[in-house]
Chains A and B, each alone.
Chain A
């Protein structure tokens, strides 16, 4: 895993007054790792009023490229944090995927076949742009103390917190904290310091991942080939990124020599077979082997894992950063509620439960996709090839062709959810983020439902008579008064009738709904969603 490109954004180490203190200075939350997940967690916590120290062992971003595809739900989260719309403008929006067998199209999918959502199904954007946008946002927020070149090297558990040892260019210092969010990536130091196992599947196949700069008019779609003429017997994947950069993944099989395959004299001819005589420049090349695995638990007392430190997936399905950002948002409101006293520590058990459900779904999907793309044995390959042979002829086999099932939000089967007592149709689901829909504000501005949600517990109530009174700690939005269902899609997606009432968690997940507004039932559902 070596990158070619130099880092593109540099940040300076600055000495913190904590380094001169005689006793370790104590903070409520330290987030370790300023990757997409740590940054999201820090920003979300800070916007909820929690001061955060954010440590990263590097002082730069942008060495080598990794993630490129960011899913609708992630974009909605990033939008709430203040960076989503800019990223969508900067990125390449797409929703179509095509799968080829040789030269022939055998399967196509549309990830968002309906209108009326603010955020697209997916954007492609170099991960360093995502990180840069999040760093810029974090730097605007006073409650975030972002410390570059601060590497956590030791950890000592106390009954009510943790003391960390942090290495800096000025030498080590100690830092006390009530909570640690371990977002320190797939090779997590904190996981090692706690001696936790990280078990799962390793795939033997190696993959060449290249970012190529070229002027090309290939379609803005995810294109995947099994056994293409330009790369016989293997698979290939192509994605468009901004700046005329294209991501190309070429499967090399288990026996490929990683060092040799990374050399331009080997890479360029391979790519020429795919791209023809069109001129291109190599931005970045790397050889990967993939793992699909997770920690048995994400919450270890006062240390909570999120993102790649907690679970790792292969990139087929774009479930890595997408699921990590969703960990961060799930954790942020819960940890903020625990710190403010609105909830007890028991609420954090629901983080473990819900995000392990998410991880199992993501690990499961990415494992099945990788099993399909890179079968483990000749016998498995024979069955895979049988599916591909049949896919040219029958629908059932086309639907088995698995080149990656793309990231969608997990529907939680959670104790925080109050089960339905009445019937609801529509696309809104208990335990899932609410569907978006166009709305008009009181000021007459056209916008979308999800961007109006403020990140608190919130009731959406369909107007019926006088404005009701929401219980304390819950914001009330009356549809038909505060917001108009301007396209009629909200009613459809929520299966709304006059008086219908929906309780949303701070992460915009639907946790209870009724056909009428009943303050007692709302208060009970609210308590339940706080784990009380």
Chain B
């Protein structure tokens, strides 16, 4: 079973950030959220490992300001 990679996976992290920013530039909040949702699904399928996905969700919830503790 693979573990979630949290060390940098890209030689050029800035390029990754710019690519993701470019994808949402000019989009409304709703459209950006919809894009993110599609992106999450596409990437989740590409990863193809439910355990890694669970770890990623755990990390995302733990690190946010609304850390998900009040969500369900």
Q: Which residues of A contact B (CB under 8 A)?
A: 382-383, 385-387, 389-390, 394, 396-397, 400
B55 adjacent to chain A (CB < 8 Å): no
Interchain nearest-CB distance for B37 vs A (Å)? 4
Decide: B34 and A385 in contact? CB cutoff 8 A.
Answer: yes
A382 touches B33 (CB 8 A): yes
B37 contacts A397, CB within 8 Å?
A: no
Count residues of B near A (Cβ-Cβ below 8 Å): 8
* Residues in B neighbouring A400, C-beta threshold 8 A: 41
Verify B34–A390 contact, CB threshold 8 A.
no
Across the interface, name the chain B residue whose C-beta is closest to A400.
Answer: B41
The CA of A397 and the CA of B39, in the complex, are separated in Å by: 12
Cβ of A385: which chain B residues have Cβ within 8 Å of it?
34, 37
Residue of B nearest to A396 (CB): B45
Which residues does chain B contribute within 8 Å of A397, judged by CB atoms? Answer: 41, 45
B34 touches A386 (CB 8 A): yes
Q: How far is A26 from B45 in the complex, measured between Cα atoms in Å?
A: 61
CB distance from A405 to the nearest CB of B (A): 18
Point out the residues of chain B lying under 8 angstroms from A394, CB to CB: 42, 45
Chain A positions within 8 Å of B45 at CB level: 394, 396-397
Majority DSSP secondary structure for residues of B touching A = helix
Q: Look across to chain A and name the residue whose beta carbon is closest to the beta carbon of B45.
A: A396
List, sorted by A's number, 14 A–B pairs whose CB atoms are closer than 8 Å: A382-B33, A382-B37, A385-B34, A386-B38, A386-B40, A389-B34, A390-B38, A390-B42, A394-B42, A394-B45, A396-B41, A396-B45, A397-B45, A400-B41
- Other A-B pairs, 6, CB within 8 Å; known A383-B37, A383-B41: A385-B37, A386-B34, A386-B38, A386-B40, A386-B41, A396-B41
Residues of chain B within 8 A (CB-CB) of A386 are 34, 37-38, 40-41
A394 to B46: give the CA distance in the assembly, Å.
12
Residues of chain B whose beta carbon lies under 8 Å from any beta carbon of chain A: 33-34, 37-38, 40-42, 45
Q: In the complex the two chains form, what is the Cα distance from A386 to B44 in whole Å? A: 13
Interface SS majority for chain A: helix
With a cutoff of 8 Å between Cβ atoms, the chain A residues found around residue B40 in the complex are 383, 386
Residues of A within 8 A of B34 (CB): 382, 385-386, 389
CB atoms of A387 and B41 under 8 A apart: yes
A476 CB, min distance to chain B CBs, angstroms:
45
Give complex CA distance A176, B40 in Å.
60
A251 to chain B, nearest CB (A): 21
Complex CA–CA separation, A396 to B40 (angstroms): 13
Which residues from A are CB-within-8-Å of B42? 390, 394
How many whole Å from B34's CB to the nearest CB in chain A?
A: 6
Q: Determine the distance from Cα of A187 to Cα of B45 in the docked complex, in whole angstroms.
A: 42
A204, chain B: closest CB distance, angstroms: 15
| Distance A396 CA – B41 CA, assembled complex (angstroms) | 9
Q: Please, how many angstroms separate the alpha-carbon atoms of A387 and B37 in the complex?
A: 8
The docked-state distance in angstroms from the alpha carbon of A152 to that of B33 is 55
Q: What residues on B are CB-neighbors of A383 within 8 Å?
A: 37, 40-41
Across the two chains, which residue of chain A brings its CB closest to B35?
A386
By Cβ-Cβ distance, the 8 closest A-B pairs, closest first, are A386-B37, A396-B45, A386-B38, A383-B37, A382-B37, A386-B41, A390-B38, A382-B33
Residue of B nearest to A376 (CB): B72
Bound-state Cα–Cα, A394 to B44, Å: 13
Write the chain B residue with the least CB distance to A399.
B45
**Which residues on the B side are within 8 Å of A390 (C-beta)?**
38, 41-42
Instruction: Please name all residues of chain A whose beta carbon is closer than 8 Å to the beta carbon of B41 when the two chains form the complex.
Output: 383, 386-387, 390, 396-397, 400
Nearest chain B CB to A318 CB, angstrom units:
28
- The distance in angstroms between the C-alpha atoms of A396 and B47, with both chains bound, is 12
Give bound CA distance, A184 to B33, whole Å: 47
Which residues on B sit within 8 Å (CB–CB) of A387? 41
Docked pose: A396 CA to B43 CA in angstroms? 11
Q: Output the least CB separation between A402 and chain B (Å).
A: 14
Among B33, B38, B40: residue with most chain A CB under 10 A: B38
**Cα-based distance from A385 to B31 in the complex (angstroms):** 12
